[in-house]
Structure formats: structure tokens, C-alpha cells
Structure 1
Amino acid sequence: MGRAKFFRQKLISHVDSVAVKTVYSWLLHQTRERFGVAAGEAGLVAQKGYLLLTRSLVKRSEEQIVFPALAGREVHRKRSAQELPRREVVLTPWSHDDLEVYREFGLKALQNARLARLIEEAYWQDASLSTSMLCFLTNITAKSIRERLISLWEEGIRLPVAGVAKKYRQGRVFRATAAMEQFFAGVKPATVRERLWLSPTTWQQYQMDYLHVAQLTRAGLDASTIGRQLGLHPDLVIEFQELEQRTGGATQLADSLPGRLLNGCPLPLAVDDARNLFLAELQSQHGFSPAKAHSYLALL
């Protein structure tokens, strides 16, 4: 018998050594060891806690920066960049998700995932990034960025960059909507994640967000109220609602981990505060006691 061969060992070791230093890794460890949550469910709980931390509890986490982007989401007229108004936005040039994507799909997938995340984050904050700004943030050449974005636009992905041609702006959907649409069409989750450079954690979060939107829509809430309650942009909520009307896809998620957690545990409709919603989710979906849920929130 020959010696066992391990492929990509140096890359995996590098990823592991960096991952243990992240806030998400620490939070995941606390969720499993201190609060006794099962391994599969702990990732979803830790992701919810991390999103609450970065979206509501602090203005900017250690992994984020404040960047002067172009004000407005529809900055497409050809004008000098110096003449355009600016808006400071919080961007995440590096995330723990990058390590998972890098480990599974390689360097180019990591770069593409980072590029898409920066564009989407600016859009959520009513701003736009130009190609030169993306070059500065990602250390990728303008030619390479244009080639990557054009291939995505042609596949129907909505990544609004300042100055993009009109033919690439219409009839597109965000990555989250595209991922769910492909899954409902019968594409395997592993293939969906590889096509759109999604980590397992992000894929689970997309499923949970979709199920929440479907549930709150059936309860009669409008897109702006749903977005405010879930921390999602109204445009993404509307895309989810339209997809649910066409496919009824929420039933296909019943056997997924988010679907099993949400089954029979609806969100409280009157909650409009991110902290109270997080506490309600911990108790109704993950079996936390009120004291244990408040202890987890204090940990954040």
C-alpha cells in the first residue's frame, strides 16, 4: 500500500489558521460549547448572531470599513467622478464567508464572491461603486472586473455598478433570488453554491430569509415592513415575493434545516426591533429559554 495523498493541504491549513481568529469562529465555538447547540444548527445560530452584531449592535465591525461611494443607486450617466456626490457606506472587504468559499471553490471564486458582496452592500445603503473603486477595494484590474461582471450580467445576476449599460440593468435579480430560483428549478444545492460562490452558511441564510419573507407575506405585511423587520432591502423582498408567487417554492424548503426550524414556529408579527426578533427566534426556533436567549444576546 502506498502513502495516503492529501490534496490542497497547504491551502486548507492556511484557511484553518486564519479562520480560528475570526469573530464568527469565536461565536460559533461559544454557541456549540457554552450553549450546547448541535453542530449543524450552531452555524445558523452563530450566523444570525453575527448578522445582528454587524447590522444593528455596532456601526462597524472589525471586518468592515467606511468608504466614500457614489450617492444613489442609479448613477449611470457619463459624468466626471469628481462632480458626483458621495455617500459614506460601510463595506466588508473581508468576511469569514470568504474563507469557506476559498477552501471549497478556490481563489477566483473568493474574488468573485467578494466583488459581488461589495456591490450589493453599497446598493443596500443607497450608493453605487464605480469600476475604479472596485479595483481599489479588491486589487483586481478593471479589465478583469468588467469581464467577470459581464458574464454575470448575461446570466441574469443583478450587480448594479455605476455607469453600467441599460441592457445589463433590466430583467436581473440579486444573487439570493437567483440561488433560490435555480434551486426550485431542480439544480442541486452544491451546484448552486458553486455557480454563485456561496458558502454553506450564506446558503442557509438565503433559505431562512426566503422562508421568513414567504411567511410574513402570507400574514399580509408589505415589502417595506418585512424588510425593516428582517433587515433586508425592500427590492430583495419584492424579488422573493414574486418568485414565491411563480413557484410556491417555500414548500420545497420544508425538509431543509431552516425549514424544519421554522415549521410550526412563526415569527412574531408585531416585533419591529432587531434585538427582540433575535430573542424570539432563539426561543421559538432553537429551543432557548428566555434566560438563555438573553444570555446569548449579552454575549454579543
Structure 2
Amino acid sequence: MSRELAVVTGASGGIGEQIAAGLARTGATVVLVARDRGRLNAARERIAGAVPGADLETEPVDLADLAAVGALADRLGERVPSIVVSNAAVIAPLDDRTPDGLHRTLVTNHLAPYLLLRRLAERPTTAPRRFVVVGGSPRGLARVPIDPGDLDPGNGRGLGWPPSFRPFTAYAHTKNMNAMFVYGLASKLAGTRTTVNGAHPGIIKGGRLNRHDRGALKVFGSLCGLFAAGTATGADTPLWLATADEVEDVTGRFFVKRRAVETAPHTTAPERVERLWRESARLVGLPA
């Protein structure tokens, strides 16, 4: 019998590694995607040690490189994954640009999952599929609406004060984009057997998200870490969405601690969701 194929981005540690291990325990073939080949192989060894008989593959791909993401979509699309968990995220300095000239946080956190999941969604299949996007806190993100016509934060506009916090605000914008993308893709896939849902993992310690923090943001991150939960807690809701029978037909929702919650009106307004879809398509080179 062929195994179910699952894909997890940002799987070289933290929440992503925990999600991948949980999927491996279901008997699925799990493709681990991350930028650093060494850390990716180390995660594969840890999962193999924790889950005897795990069927694991690695895809060392920099999700900030849109050409590489497109090539990954081509490779995976031939195999039609039944589960894809988009988990990878960074908080990069505002001057950190990708080969396409875009901000690394924007590309890694939003444009890469937009390109990957959209390309996979366009592959015809009659089998059920689940797409899960790991987002951010609906309550916290309510205060930082995006401008759907100006996604790149490199100019620093609208990112507030102090300057050391601006990379975090740019990250928060991409987390709102994640929720809006969930709603947009779910709407376009309505009536199919593919579900799309978002999840907030909580404030989690044990990852590398804050490795570029400086100044006041570094102090803030350290304080948050004192009260943060572990990576297993953060992985729980995304893994549940990817596997649980009770959400098999649920789509277009956002979950916190396994409960569906409402996100801010600026993330659900259909015209804003559609504007984000179209601008994202333009930036990745796809038709709207």
C-alpha cells in the first residue's frame, strides 16, 4: 500500500519538526522542507529516532527564493500531497532582500506559501487534501492591518516606533496575510475536496524565529520567552487540523487551541482578501 504524502515547511526544528514527527506517527511519508541542509538532516535523524519506521524525505529549499519554491511545487505536484503544513517563518531585518528584490520576511512568510499552495491546489485530484497555514494571534494582529496594494515593508512606512520593532511589525503584517490567504484560497476551492485552514500556535519557545532580534525587540522577545510554551504545544493545533476526523470537511476557518475563532474584519473583508490575492499573484508572476 502506498503511504499518504505529507509536506511540512520550516521542518528543521521547533514547531515544524514536531508537526513532522506527529505526521510520521500516522504512517505518512513526510517531506521535510527547510533552507539549511545540515539542520534539516539533523531533524530527520531526531524524528527517525523518535518514530521507529518513519518514512522521511528532505527538501533543502530556501523559501525566500521564489524560483526555488516554484521548482519545489513542480516536484511535489507530480506526487499530489494530501497534507501540506505551511509553517516556515522568519523575522528578518528590513534591509534583507531576496534574489527578487523583495523583503525576506514577506517572501518566506507569505509569498512562498501563496505560490506553493496555489500551484499545488491547481493540480487536479479527486482525493481529499488538507492545507494548513500556521499564522499568528488574531487578537494581537487586529491592531496591524496591511495595505493590500503595498506589501513590501522595506520602505519602513507604517511600521511604527521604535525602529528596532519594525521587523516584528513587518512579520505581524505577514501573519495577517496568512489568515487572508487562507480565506481567499478556501473560497476559490469551495466545492472541492481540498480544505484550507489557519492556526495560531501560541507564543512558543524553542525555535529560531527571533534570531535576528536587536535592541528593544530582543528585550521584548526575552521577556515573552519567560512565559512561552514548548514546541509540542505549538504543534498541537496545526497537527490536529492536518489529521483529525472532526475537521475533515472544515475549511476557511482559523483556529486557536483547536477552537475556531474570528479574526479581525480587515482580514475577512472580501475586497481586501481579493486585492491581496491579486497583488501576491503579481509579485510571484502568476495570473490573478
| TM-score, length basis structure 1 | 0.29
If asked which structure has higher relative contact order (CA below 8 Å, sep 6+), I would say: 2
Larger radius of gyration: 1
